Amino acid sequence: MKKYMELPADYAVLSDDEMTYTTGGSAVGGIVTIVGVAVLASSYVWGISQARDWLSVDSNRRGNPLTVMGRAMDAIGDDMSKSPSNFLRDVVSTGTVVALAPLSALLLIL
């Protein structure tokens, strides 16, 4: 029994040489990657600096760790409710700080 591959009538086989010209958009992809990394890195730095500023207030550090985290979540929620841009900024910065939690904890302790 032979197996036949059925292809569309207008199918054209490309040689290896022709395949080099079918890849594209790598410059755009590179630029988007660089911009994305820059946005996430700046959001991370901003998030760490805001967390350090918040922790520098003595009353914010009092209590057990769950109480401190609860106060922090309340403060983030209050800031997020101010405007859509604050909401987006806080979501991205919180996400990056939490995603890099071991590094974030080290930076907040030092």
Query: Domain count of the chain?
Result: 1
Domain-located, residue 22: no
* Domain limits for position 57: 40-109
Q: Is the pTM of this model over 0.85?
A: no
Alpha-carbon span 22 to 24, nearest angstrom: 6
User: Residues 104, 98: contact at Cβ < 8 Å?
Assistant: yes
**DSSP, res 9:** T
pLDDT at 74 over 80: yes
Determine the pLDDT at residue 21: 62
Greater confidence (86 vs 15) lies with 86
Domain-located, residue 85: yes
Give the model confidence (pLDDT) of 2-22 as tens digits: 888 787 878 777 776 766 665
Give the model confidence (pLDDT) of 12-66 as tens digits: 777 767 666 656 667 888 899 999 999 999 999 999 999 999 999 999 989 999 9
Residue 100 carries which side chain, given as an amino acid letter? L
Alpha-carbon span 91 to 51, nearest angstrom: 14
Alpha-carbon span 38 to 32, nearest angstrom: 10
12: left (phi over 0), alpha (psi -120 to 50) or beta: beta
Determine the pLDDT at residue 25: 63
Determine the pLDDT at residue 24: 63
Domain-located, residue 49: yes
